Structure 1
């Protein structure tokens, strides 16, 4: 049976989406992904590029620090999608992500699990992995986002069996740019304000949650509601700023019990059931 697999370099997809939509680089927190739309587009694209071969699965390669983000949680719960995570160091750089993609591509090719590989990336380091996969009879289709020629290694483009570009009009269907309003600050605004001496733990929790989650766009809040409905936990990208703000407001670390209380209150805020 002929099968295809899709390999998505999330770092490339986000950075090139920003260029495609705005003509310039943009911080990842300012971008919002429509996971369902992207996966549907990738499935359709893979079907066309591989002459009707059946999909094995879509692999999503990304970095994580102290837990999955909201986007990663949504993707991990989707059918036919496997999230593969490397780490993010203190400088914000992804580590180990490329090696996961290389290993999976070579292993699937060697085991004859796929006939076609659709790779969304621009990284020239993928070239050797592409050559090895091709030596096992796999056809490799390189996919970029418009304008892709300047964002992809020329050697990698030459190595691929086919090269395809997702046009801006389709990029805009799965990615939105909200500008600075969508970003969650690394150092919460509350941390810059004087702390009331009489502030109780309960008040600190309420203020921390409000300061962070009130900045979330309506679309993102709707997505968070869907997430906590099936898994009542807070994605790391929001949990850490809320925890940091609360820690500052009470001038100490939270106990394990207090952290659970804070997270329960955050879930209630998202669900719209907070007091």
Structure 2
């Protein structure tokens, strides 16, 4: 074979054999298709689960709760209807008022369900009074108690409201909160709830004069609503002024008044406890103004006689009160 014949033989060129493609390319392509198919299936499954979850969420109604500062309600409604904030001067139909709040919320939050009503009040040593016990027994109502100091001022109520508002909002238990109150200390409670996505709506009672809700609170909430005199009037009733039909008779004796003072002291001690007594003793023989006033009012009720203008009988009343307390310490 000559050189011409040798060079004439066709040579295999780079155009005939593709470069950069491994010998097992068909197998790799099948594996890629399989992985893509699996990925598509997973995406489809995820979309299906999301659709189910969204469907369940759509079927779940939003939820609201009502938070009532009872101290604010008594003061504002009492002043508006009867002209006084003194609880001893009027009766508040708490059950009727709570039901009215629930009805109003049902109208405002039409597509929402009620979780419950929280009723915040103060009590000595956080022990329920008979009135508070009756409220606690109402359906869908939770009574939460702060303390009362020597001047009958609530302590700890605002912190209870903040704790409940923040906790319920954080756990997505409520979407809307109706807050009946006016104290500036509630601003932090509103901010905490809003931080978790809940909307807070401030409800107030018409002020007899001026304003009975803090401006900072009004600025912070999502909406405001005021209940006027006609709304409040059915639930607030002034107590009748006590009349003493036997005023023409001789006044009771000092011993009789002293005995009544001891009776009242026994009830006072049972309701408030020895810790409160320990706070009272250093001031003997004087009583804090609110305690002395309560003592006088209760004694006049039991005696059906006025002790106003009878200084010696009032001293006997205090003597009987103190005498019983000291024997129990």
Q: Is TM-score (shorter-chain normalized) higher than 0.5?
A: yes
Question: How many residues end up aligned between the 2 structures?
Answer: 213
* In structure 1, C-alpha distance between the alignment counterparts of 2:157 and 2:111, rounded to whole Å: 29
Structure 1 residues 234-273: Cα deviation after superposition (integer angstroms, max 9, x where no partner): xxxxxxxxxxx799289545999xxxxxxxxxxxxxxxxx
Taking the aligned partners of 1:27 and 1:11, their CA distance within structure 2 comes to 11
Partner of 2:101: 42
One of 109, 118, 125 as aligned partner of 1:59: 118
Deviations 1:66-122 (A, max 9, x none): 532232111011111111001111222211111001110011000100011000001
Q: TM-score, normalised by structure 1?
A: 0.67
Aligned to 1:151: 212
Show the counterpart of 1:139. Answer: 199
Q: CA deviation at 1:25?
A: 3.6
Question: Does 2:137 align with 1:77?
Answer: yes
Does the aligned pair in 2 maintain the 1:56–1:114 contact within 8 Å? yes
1:177 matched to 2:220? The reply is: no
- TM normalised by structure 2 equals 0.56
Give 1:213 deviation, angstroms.
9.3
Q: Which runs of 5+ in 2 are unaligned?
A: 1-60, 244-251, 268-296, 303-316
- Secondary structure in structure 1 of the residue aligned to 2:131: helix
Question: Which region of structure 1 is more displaced relative to structure 2, 27-36 or 173-182?
Answer: 173-182
Secondary structure of 1:91 counterpart: coil
Distance 1:196 1:135 in 2: 61
1:248 is the counterpart of 2:309: no
- What's the offset of the Cα at 1:30? 1.2
Give distance in 2, aligned partners of 1:98 and 1:124.
Answer: 9
Which stretch of the first structure deviates more once superposed, 131-140 or 173-182? 173-182
Q: Tell me the CA shift for residue 214 of structure 1.
A: 8.7
User: Which ranges in structure 1 are unaligned for 5 or more consecutive residues?
Assistant: 183-191, 217-244, 257-275
Contact preservation (8 Å) 2:77, 2:232: yes
Greater RCO, 1 or 2 (C-alpha within 8 Å, sep 6+): 1
Displacement, 1:172? 0.9
In the TM superposition, structure 1's runs of 4+ consecutive aligned residues that sit over 6 Å from their partners are none
Q: Does the CA-based 8 Å contact 2:80-2:206 persist in structure 1?
A: yes
- In 1, the alpha carbon distance for the partners of 2:254 and 2:299 equals 20
- My pick for the range that moved more, 124-133 or 106-115, is 124-133
1:196–1:128: structure 2 CA closer, same or farther, 3 Å change rule? Answer: closer
Structure 1 stretch 246-255 or stretch 155-164: which is displaced more? 246-255
SS in 1 for 2:159: helix
Aligned residues of 1:195 and 1:249 also touching (Cα < 8 A) = no
Residue in structure 1 matched with residue 314 of structure 2 by the alignment: none
Change in 2 beyond 3 A, CA 1:196/1:34? closer
User: Could you tell me how far 1:212 is from its partner in structure 2?
Assistant: 4.4
User: Which whole-Å CA distance do the structure 2 matches of 1:47 and 1:8 have between them?
Assistant: 16
| CA offset digits 1:136-193 (Å, max 9, x no partner) | 12111100011387111122112111111111111111122226649xxxxxxxxx95
Hey, what does 2:8 align to over in structure 1?
none
Cα distance in 2 for partners of 1:252, 1:158 equals: 52
